[in-house]
Chains A and B, each alone.
Chain A
């Protein structure tokens, strides 16, 4: 057994059944081990695709996504995916090859200091220079991907270590020798009384459920029980979408830059903010200092990552805990004769806003040619209603439209690039997501811009034959850039118009993927029917009205009450 065999055996022992990667010189020995062990490796068409596919897989399954890439350019191509995973707390294990130890630092062929390059975008990374450390490093790296706040971990292995004979028994004995001290954390149990006391005095409370509520296993059941027991209104962040069902009477929708009027009103005027598993990014609160200084408000911040507490907003009650633990313990700690504060007026006001917004939303689902993006999303959502589809987006206008108009039916079913906003994320992530759950339909909405950034992964999709239905939201421009240029740059559409878009149906055809054009509502509805009746992948090229902008919208750096929503008069 050599180092490479040990790596593959390790992955198999961990139950890895999907690894996304791309071979190259310094990992040839590793690919020989893959061949010998008949290891389930999936060949993407670019390393960035491997990283996003692994993210999609991890986001749906909750298990670490595994990536394999070669040294130098192979590893640098992972950087965008690692940065994306780092910001969205996605567990990834990236294994990269490195030049032989004797050549390290000599600027050898395909050498790049990949631990240096990836240091700021990984939770942790390793360069294995001692063969005895190979297995302990892999064990620790695997644990780190999911422990605490999940994230990407990279293990860089020189090619001579891959080829070195390794005694498996000796390696096993050393497997768990890395011991890391972690300080005890402040758990919910000790703080529950304070939370209930704050709620007792509140008249206008709001719960924000962030991505942490999705990530923490089983977090959402207790969340729903908690809000129902207190009649507490709840809003989600983009990453928290799916934590509670869309038509729940206490759900206000998504908050932040393109969130709903009712959620943002609640955010702006609440007197108690209970935020769980969220980091108050600038897309949620544009001006933290102004937000903090206006209004009397008690902020309770629950997060597994203590460094997120107090980073953007100062909290009055800090609870370092994961979302699932928090909701479990807060429910258990509820005092027997507890009566929460009186906030019926508050709920009534928020619900009337919600009613008004829903009317405005309905009016957006107009059948016209060229198509309206809201209509396209609505029609697809209707066709898939009750089937618990996996919904994937790329980045830009269509991403926000999907977040607003596609009711996600369960946690881990809305797959999007939140923190980094990575164009090109969608297609490979959809393939990884579908690989994790091939019995469900995966639908991906992607822009004509983002789709062309990782379009080569159509080859992988055709090869796997997964049920991924692609909707290209073609408005002939980089829609979100165009929208900002229209609103804030005097309609100077600088480099945001894509005037020579290809025939996407022909591209799909070239990759042997069935496809059709939807220039208007009739085409669209027929194509949706065909897509869902077709086994495996299908692509619909939708021709959209390029003038359609995303509303509601809070301009960057503004307050929740600065929300713009045409037709919403109060």
Chain B
């Protein structure tokens, strides 16, 4: 079992997201994340779907997805030849004792401070899944209030 990154080009058709989500749930495919946004051509979107499984399962996912009328192209992105990114927004409790440590961690991970109040800090960081996990791990003891993640988007390297 390992995560596979699928890049799926689709027509922007009403109900398409429900069709894709329904396909994954009724065939018991494990979906780690799904991110979707408009693509370069008007009327089309590109989804990045991260599925957890083996090669055989991913092949089934691709073939089942391909049957959906609004799915135009599917690519399984090779790990080494693709760039994967996720955006994380995290709101931390920030007391005078923890504030400097949070800022240090943020600096190491090249996180931006996007909001600040007298008792909180909100940070933004992008990166691959393992970087996000390490970042969260370091912040864990410092008082996390809320975590928002976009899910991974990925693109093939030229």
- List residues of chain A with CB under 8 Å of any chain B CB: 115-116, 119-120, 124, 127, 129, 144, 180-181, 183, 305-307, 309-311, 314
Q: By CB atoms of chain B within 10 A, which of A127, A129, A183, A307 has the most?
A: A307
CB contacts (< 8 Å) of B54 on chain A: these are: none
Asked if residues A119 and B15 are in contact (CB atoms below 8 Å), the reply is yes
Interface of B is mostly: helix
Q: How far is B18's CA from A129's CA once the two chains are assembled, in angstroms?
A: 17
30 pairs of residues in contact across A and B, judged by CB atoms under 8 Å: A115-B15, A116-B15, A119-B15, A119-B18, A119-B19, A119-B22, A120-B26, A124-B69, A127-B14, A127-B15, A129-B14, A144-B69, A180-B69, A180-B70, A181-B72, A181-B73, A183-B66, A305-B67, A306-B66, A307-B60, A307-B63, A307-B64, A307-B66, A307-B67, A310-B56, A310-B59, A310-B60, A310-B63, A311-B60, A311-B63
* Contacts of B48-74 to chain A: CB distance below 8 A: 56, 59-60, 63-64, 66-67, 69-70, 72-73
- List residues of chain B with CB under 8 Å of any chain A CB: 14-15, 18-19, 22, 26, 56, 59-60, 63-64, 66-67, 69-70, 72-73
CB contacts (< 8 Å) of A129 on chain B: these are: 14
Q: How far is B14's CA from A129's CA once the two chains are assembled, in angstroms?
A: 10
CB contacts (< 8 Å) of B26 on chain A: these are: 120
Q: How far is B18's CA from A183's CA once the two chains are assembled, in angstroms?
A: 23
B128 nearest CB across to chain A (Å): 30
CB contacts (< 8 Å) of B73 on chain A: these are: 181
Q: How far is B60's CA from A44's CA once the two chains are assembled, in angstroms?
A: 40
CB contacts (< 8 Å) of A309 on chain B: these are: 63
> Chain A residue with minimal CB distance to B9?
A181
A181-B72, A307-B66 given; A120·B22 CB < 8 A: yes
A307-B60, A310-B56 given; A116·B67 CB < 8 A: no
CB contacts (< 8 Å) of B63 on chain A: these are: 306-307, 309-311
Q: By CB atoms of chain A within 10 A, which of B22, B56, B59, B69 has the most?
A: B69
B43 nearest CB across to chain A (Å): 11
A378 nearest CB across to chain B (Å): 42
Give the 10 A-B CB pairs with smallest separation, nearest first: A307-B63, A307-B64, A306-B63, A181-B72, A124-B69, A120-B26, A307-B67, A119-B22, A180-B69, A120-B22
Q: How far is B72's CA from A180's CA once the two chains are assembled, in angstroms?
A: 8
Q: How far is B77's CA from A58's CA once the two chains are assembled, in angstroms?
A: 41
